A = this chain, B = another copy of it.
Amino acid sequence: MNAANDDVAGHEAESAGAKPRVRDRIFDTACELFYQHGIRSVGVDAIAAEAGTNKMSFYRSFESKDALVAEYLRERQREFWEWWEATIAAYPDDPRRQIESLFEAHLVIVKDKACRGCALGNAAGEMADDDDVLSELVRHFKKDVRKRLRKMAHELGARDPEALGDALMLLMDGSYFTRLVFPGNSGPIAALMPAVRALIASQLPAGSASS
C-alpha cells in the first residue's frame, strides 16, 4: 500500500491512510499528469501545485525529476504485469482463453475515455535516443511483453509461435498507438478481437472450437 519501501515510513501508521504523505500525493499526481499530458510537458512546479504543495517539498521527496520519471515508469510496468497475471489467472490451463481474455481486457482499458495509450511506449516516443536509463527501461519492458506473448503462443500450440506472438504484439501496440488519435472506441480498435481470433485460428489445425 505504501509507495516506497525506503525511509518514508519509519513507524506503523501506514495501514490507516487517513492523511496521505506528501510524497505519495506528489507521486500519484505526477503519474496522472505524466500520463495525461506527456512527461516533458509537465514541470515539477505544476506537479507540486496540483498535489497541493510546492517545489521544495517535491525535492525533499524526490532526488530529481528524472528519478520521479523512472519511478513512474517502473510503477506503470508493475501495474501492467499485475493486471496481466490477474487476467490470465482466470484460465490457468487454457492458453487460448488466456490470450483472448487478455486482449478483451486490454480492449476495455483502451476504450476508456481517459486512456492515452501505453505509458511506457509514449515515454519512448518522447525521449531522445541517447537517454540511457529511461529508454533501456522501456526497451526491457517491451521485450518482456514480446517474450510473454510468444510464450503463450507456444503454449497454444501455434505452428509458428514466434510469428503469432509478434503479430499479437503488433495488434496490441497498434491499438495503443491509434488510440492516441481516435477518441474512445471510435477507431480501428473495433477490429481488435476479430483480428486476434483470426490470427489464432490461422495458426491452429483446422478443427478447433472457437469459444
Q: Which residues of A contact B (CB under 8 A)?
A: 36-38, 40-41, 117-118, 121-122, 124-126, 128-129, 135, 138-139, 142, 146, 160, 162-167, 169-178, 180-182, 187-192, 194-195, 198-199, 201-203
Cβ contact within 8 Å between B128 and A41: yes
Rank and list the top 5 A-B pairs by shortest CB-CB distance, nearest first.
A174-B174, A166-B191, A170-B174, A166-B188, A167-B195
- 28 CB contacts below 8 A, A to B, read A36-B129, A38-B128, A40-B40, A40-B41, A41-B128, A117-B125, A121-B180, A125-B126, A125-B180, A142-B182, A163-B195, A165-B188, A166-B189, A166-B190, A167-B194, A167-B195, A169-B178, A169-B188, A170-B171, A170-B175, A170-B188, A170-B189, A173-B173, A173-B177, A198-B198, A198-B199, A199-B199, A202-B202
